[in-house]
Structure 1
Amino acid sequence: LIGKLTGDLPVTIFSPDGGGVKRAQLLKEALEAETGREIGFGFMEKRRSRNLVSGELFAGDVSGSAVFIVDDMISTGGTMLRAALACRERGAKTVYAIAAHGLFGKGADALFGSQAIDRIIVTDSVDSAAVANARYPQAPLDILPIGRLVGKAIRRLHTQGSISELTGIEH
């Protein structure tokens, strides 16, 4: 999937906030091991106080890159959109928002209407992703099925198999 989306562009994995840095690093390492390509890395600072989001720190070089902003979930999409805009301002060629759970609650209209993000990629772990797909049919939203993966994980847990081997991530 990465090669299909990026072509020859350099790839950068990006965390939209400090809390997701470890998740993004693990994905970066797994992609490097799988593809043999050098993968860039970056993150943004995000502080929330009284429902106001602030933080200007931007770490990493995204210029000329295909950037994959990775988070655990997308609720309103504000965090993803903030990071995408910052990456675009710094020269990112393409920007993809990827998350395990697409909740897409109140306020997600701005995310789906933005030109800053080329594709939004989530799993079918919650029904709200399919609801959003129906509500915003023109949105660049891809929903990936995870049923098989969950089934394999349950089977491995039941037979004392290795989840690490299943995901390809060493701990």
Structure 2
Amino acid sequence: MNENLGIIALESALENGKRVNEIISKWRDGGNYLIPCECPRFSSGEAKGIVGESVRDKDIYIIVDVCNNSLTYKMDGEKNRMSPDDHYQDLKRVIAACSGKAERINVVMPFLYESRQHRRTMRESLDCAVMLRELEYMGVHSLVTFDAHDPRMSNVTPLRSFDNVSPALQFVQSFLTEYEDIQIDKDHLMFIAPDEGATERSVFLASVFGVNLGMFYKRRDYSRIVDGSNPIVAHDFSGASVEGMDVVIVDDMIASGGSMIDVAGQLKKLGAKRVFIFSTFGLFSSGFEKFDKAYEQGLFTRIFTTNLIHQKEELLSKEYYCSVNMNRYIAAIIDTLNKRGSLTQLTKPADRIRETIAKYKH
């Protein structure tokens, strides 16, 4: 067993980092693997990274949540909210503070920074690719992320480890624990891809459940650009009848939520019995008013998202919300990598999902 483990949780992911440390500590000898760090700010808004303990010859795992906009810092006497850019800069500061002393530096970044800007369609930046190259240049050995918007981003750094982990098992476990009346067959359950980009996730779950797949595709107005993209005109459904069926919409993130609610509304119009939503990252960037209204109208039954990113207190209080805890999963990934083990069983959860379904049916 390797005991050179060190976990550095940036402020953005500190609470989850503490839980991960506690879990690994119980699995091992009861020691503490959490190394303190901070990124204090000067009055100009500039900052520096400080690591509180020696990292020499340690296998370091730095956990960062680039979506945590609840944190603030002062600049010129005024409060600024931390943006993904700020969190990413702090990550680089902490890597630099390790000063090349660590044996290996690994980054656990659940939401892949700038992953929504993953391709170039005109004269525009490729921010996610630049980030990956920067981390490679800084000596990062491996990066662990979850449900990347485009898993092909791993091709940017082909000589570095890039693990894109699916949280599908945890969603299935939470879903089947919360609801005891799910009929798992082609006549009563269907998985739905809300757009083309979500097809692979939905195909995977439909396959392991042994049920059918439905898909929406976005019709866009390519004659104009609004907020950086072509506006969606409509969501068109392709698939078998959903009349009287439970349906599960599967996607990587909920941002403003407009598209998700539109899809849920269309499924109800098509006769769906209950609409469940699985989304790895719940950003809810436009608040909850539209979700509250949609829930009151009966457009959906429950929303499941993970705690991989910061969860707003208001979200946790919603009766239609279920949080999928991923801390034990992150702990298992770090523990396995530190022991130089294989992540195959953790990143390819099909067999464990089938076992969970089989137990549920019996």
Q: Report what 1:23 is aligned to.
A: 201
Q: Report what 1:11 is aligned to.
A: 189
Out of 314, 318, 329, which is 1:132 matched to? 314
Q: Report what 1:35 is aligned to.
A: none
Amino acid at match of 1:60: G
TM norm structure 1: 0.82
For the aligned residue pairs, the C-alpha RMSD in angstroms reads: 2.3
User: Contact 2:281–2:305 at 8 Å: present in 1 too?
Assistant: yes
Structure 1 gaps of 5+ residues are: 33-37
Q: Deviations along 1:3-49, whole A, 9 cap, x unmatched?
A: 7254337111111101110111112223x2xxxxx312111011444
Output the CA distance in 1 between the equivalents of 2:203 and 2:181. Answer: 19
Structure 2 gaps of 5+ residues are: 1-174, 352-362
User: Contact 2:301–2:320 at 8 Å: present in 1 too?
Assistant: yes
Shift of residue 121, structure 1, vs aligned partner: 0.6
Q: 1:125 to 1:54 in 2, by over 3 A?
A: same
User: Contact 2:194–2:251 at 8 Å: present in 1 too?
Assistant: yes
Output the CA distance in 2 between the equivalents of 1:29 and 1:160. Answer: 31
Output the CA distance in 2 between the equivalents of 1:153 and 1:2. Answer: 24
**Identical aligned pairs, as a percentage?**
25
Output the CA distance in 1 between the equivalents of 2:313 and 2:285. Answer: 10
Shift of residue 150, structure 1, vs aligned partner: 1.0
Amino acid at match of 2:301: D
Out of 230, 241, 247, which is 1:67 matched to? 247
TM norm structure 2: 0.41
**1:54 corresponds to 2:233:** yes
The residue matched to 2:341 in structure 1 has which SS? coil
**1:157 corresponds to 2:337:** yes
Q: 1:22 to 1:93 in 2, by over 3 A?
A: same
Shift of residue 57, structure 1, vs aligned partner: 2.7
Amino acid at match of 1:126: I
Q: Report what 1:45 is aligned to.
A: 217
Q: 1:11 to 1:43 in 2, by over 3 A?
A: same
Q: Report what 1:96 is aligned to.
A: 276
Q: 1:8 to 1:169 in 2, by over 3 A?
A: closer
Q: Which has the higher contact order (CA 8 A, sep 6+)?
A: 1
Output the CA distance in 2 between the equivalents of 1:104 and 1:120. Answer: 12
User: Contact 1:113–1:139 at 8 Å: present in 2 too?
Assistant: no
Output the CA distance in 2 between the equivalents of 1:100 and 1:43. Answer: 18
Q: Which protein has the larger Cα radius of gyration, Structure 1 or Structure 2?
A: 2
